[in-house]
Amino acid sequence: MNDTLDAKAPQYLSFTIAGTDYGLPILTVKEILQFEETTRVPGTPASIRGVINVRGRGETVASKRTCILVVEALVGGERLVVGVLADAVNEVLDLPASEIEEPPTFGTNVKIDYLTGMGKVGKQFVLLLDADRVLSASEAELTAQAAMAAGAAPVAPGAEVRPG
């Protein structure tokens, strides 16, 4: 391919969550934090891993994931910076338009509205996320999707979830 075209190809940060590779436009990712040690807080549910120190402020960690992608997104009409938990950060990908396919209409654990496409990386695909749409989705919608992806029954909004 032409070096000039490759230099102008959009870049995506690829990362893994639950065995699936995703990508976010690199310009939406402000920082990558790695944490290993959390402080357990007595009396918190088993689903809460603990708290971590992020620039002098305690932040709750509700996952065993090891990376936080600090992402800027347009949520509710305003720019917000939020943390996305990931299992691993993989690499920065240069993906020209010729290497991006339309999102699939079936077969993913991600709502199609959250995808901008699928990036071809070797013989694999990376699901390219629309940060604004994913991060502005309602908590109830995301909880239902997570339950479906895990093979569990969806939880009604407002229902109490107790660790098994």
Can you give the residue range of the structural domain that contains 56? 3-149
Q: How many domains does the chain have?
A: 1
The reply to whether 139 falls in a domain is yes
The reply to whether 82 falls in a domain is yes
Residue-wise pLDDT for 89-136, tens only, equals 999 999 999 999 998 777 666 788 889 999 999 999 999 999 888 877
The reply to whether 159 falls in a domain is no
Which CATH number does the domain housing residue 24 bear? 2.30.30.40
Read off the DSSP letter of residue 19: T
- Give the Cα separation of 81 and 42 in Å (integer): 29
The reply to whether 30 falls in a domain is yes
pLDDT at site 121: 94
The reply to whether 162 falls in a domain is no
pLDDT at site 26: 95
Q: What is the mean pLDDT of residues 48-75?
A: 77
Selected residue with higher pLDDT from 129 and 81: 129
